[in-house]
Structure 1
Amino acid sequence: MECNNCSVAELKFDIKLEGETNLSLMDKVVSHLARRVMETTRKENRLFMNERGAKEFLDFCLHHMEPAKVLFRIDKGEWNKIEEMEQVFNTEWIDDVIRKELLGCHYQPIVTADGEIFAYEMLARFHHEDGTVIYPNEIFPAAKSRSRLYALDRVCRMAAVRHAAVLKDVKAFINFIPTSIYSPEFCLRSTTNLANELGLDPRQLVFEVVETEKVDDVDHLREILAFYKKKGFQYALDDVGEGYSTIELLADLKPHYMKLDMQYVQGVADDADKQKTALRFLEKAVEIGSVPLAEGVETKEDFDWLKQRGYQLFQGYYFGKPAKEPQGIVTVPV
């Protein structure tokens, strides 16, 4: 059974009214919605309703109340200004994308220093029912607006596992957002069960923490990674750079792979500051027994510099762009 966060359940709006004018209109708001057969629960200065009721409330609020003194939130999330509610309604299309699983995966190669395919990163690609593309800079803000990040992350993980089943003798790197997982034992059960059903060797899958730099709850992340490790999977930290450099923390998490943020990779051959960061990163990776991976490699010069210093894995357009089918690398390093 899925929790409401991982499924596309009906949104529940919590609306908070402040100011004498708004509070004096609460009875009228409730009566107005009741006449339109829209159920509303009132508790002190708060109103609770579904999305249909919220749409009607917004119209009433903008015409008769003081919008600047009205806040709302969805399913106990963060409080937002009432004018942002329209964006929630405008992004309802994200529900269809998740419910109907309107997405696939592209494969981007991760190679060794010798140019051999070591793994593919599974990158989600989204589309509407008519086939038109939805870009990541559209999909994730929409999911955040409607509190669908949990459900979106889950459907992406499941799609990635299914697409990983076609790979032979190479690993699959699968992204996940730590904050989208409440309880590893519950939230990740469907992912691990699917991997087992498809006969995937757990060691073939590497779960990659998205936006490692932005992780605030390290204890929660540690719990998730411990779950993956217990199930036999490996894990990687993505976008590691100067801000995530506490060696004690990295040693505690013990990632199997550490990905150097592309901002320190691109142009590293000619930039002394980037070289310092890349070398510090490499030293830490070696110290804690993690495999160093440079992402975003686009030129032979950067690849050669990193390879000569001891980086073991590489990813970027120099080797291949994401593709619908697993491809060999376009440029064979010399």
Structure 2
Amino acid sequence: MECNNCTVASLKFEIRLEGELNSSVLEQVAEFLERRNIAVTRKENKLQMDEQGAREFLDFCNDLLDPAEAVFRINQEAWKPLSEMEHVFNMEWIDDVIRYERLSCHYQPIIDAEGNIYAYEMLARFQNEDGSTIYPNEIFPAAKSRGRLYALDRVCRMTAVKHAAVLKGEKAFINFIPTSIYSPEFCLRSTTELANKLGVDPQQLVFEVVETEQVDDLDHLKKILAYYKEKGFEYALDDVGEGYSTIEMLADLKPNYMKLDMQYVQGVANDAVKQGLALQFLEKAVEIGSVPLAEGIEERADFDWLKEQGYQLFQGYYFGKPSPAPTKVEGALTL
């Protein structure tokens, strides 16, 4: 059984009307919706209804209410100004992307210091109904506005596991958003069940924390990572230089891999400041027993410098761009 957050269930809107003007028309608004055969639940100055009801509400009340004294929320999330409700309606297309799983994964190689492919990062690619591409900077804001981050993160994880099944022993790095998982035992059960069904060795999967949403609840993140570890999966931390500043915090999380962000990687061979940051990162990784991985490599000089310092894994366009199928390393490495 799946929860409403992980599926594309009908949105539940809650509207709160405040101020003298809005309070005076509250009864009129509720009666109008009921005449339209829209189920409305009224609790003091709040109205609860489905999305169709919210659309009717907005049309009817556009010139009737004081918008500065009205707020709404969906699925018990944060309250928002009424002016943002139209945007939620306009992003309805994200529901079909998730419902019909209009996405696939591309593979980007991760290599070791000898130039062998160690793993692939699984990168989601989304499509409209006509097959045209939807870019990540469109998909994630749309999902967030409609409260679909849980559902989007789940379908991305499941799709990545399916694509990992074709790998021949290489690991698969799978991104996930910690804030989209409210209960590891419940939200991640389907992921582990799918891996078992497809015969994917848990040690083949590396779940990577991405900082699309800043992690504020460290204890919650620790519970998620503990669940992954219990099931035999590995995990990686992305953007470590920004999101996880202290060695104590990193030692507490115990990541199997730490990824150095591309902003510290690109041009590092000739930049003393970046070199200092890269060495500090490497020292942290070694101290807690984590494998250091440099991402975003586009130049041979940067790869050589990082390799010489002791970095063990590498990723970037120099070795290969994301592709629809696992590929060999494109960079001409003479190691």
TM range (shorter): over 0.9
Q: CA deviation at 1:243?
A: 4.6
Q: CA deviation at 1:61?
A: 2.3
Partners of 1:31 and 1:230 lie apart in 2 by 54
Residue deviations 1:82-106, cap 9 Å, x none?
Answer: 1111111111111111111110000
Structure 2-normalised TM-score? Answer: 0.98
Give yes or no for contact 2:237–2:255 (8 Å, CA) kept in 1.
Answer: yes
Residue deviations 1:219-277, cap 9 Å, x none?
Answer: 00100101110111100001111452210110011100000111111111122221111
Residue deviations 1:273-324, cap 9 Å, x none?
Answer: 2111110100010010000000111111111111111100001111111000
Partners of 2:163 and 2:55 lie apart in 1 by 39
Which residue of the partner structure matches residue 70 of structure 2? 70
Q: How does 1:165-204 map to 2 (within 5 A)?
A: 165-204=165-204
AA aligned to 1:129 is E
Partners of 2:64 and 2:183 lie apart in 1 by 43
Which residue of the partner structure matches residue 90 of structure 1? 90
Q: CA deviation at 1:58?
A: 1.0
Q: How does 1:313-332 map to 2 (within 5 A)?
A: 313-332=313-332
Give yes or no for contact 2:177–2:212 (8 Å, CA) kept in 1.
Answer: no
**1:251 has 2:229 as partner:** no
Partners of 1:16 and 1:333 lie apart in 2 by 62
Partners of 1:212 and 1:102 lie apart in 2 by 21
SS at match of 1:123: strand
Residue deviations 1:46-86, cap 9 Å, x none?
Answer: 11110000001111222111111111100110111111111
**1:48 has 2:78 as partner:** no
SS at match of 2:62: helix
Q: How does 1:1-334 map to 2 (within 5 A)?
A: 1-211=1-211, 214-334=214-334
AA aligned to 1:311 is Y
SS at match of 1:34: helix
Give yes or no for contact 2:177–2:213 (8 Å, CA) kept in 1.
Answer: no
AA aligned to 1:43 is K
Structure 1-normalised TM-score? Answer: 0.98
Structure 1 unaligned regions, length at least 5? none
Structure 2 unaligned regions, length at least 5? none
Give yes or no for contact 1:293–1:314 (8 Å, CA) kept in 2.
Answer: yes
Give RMSD over aligned pairs.
Answer: 1.1
Aligned length in residues: 334
Q: CA deviation at 1:333?
A: 2.4
SS at match of 1:214: coil
> Could you say if the C-alpha distance between residues 62 and 326 of structure 1 is closer, same or farther in structure 2, counting changes exceeding 3 Å?
same
Residue deviations 1:4-54, cap 9 Å, x none?
Answer: 100111100011111100110000000111111111111111111100000
AA aligned to 1:317 is Y
Aligned identity (percent) is 72
Partners of 1:99 and 1:303 lie apart in 2 by 41
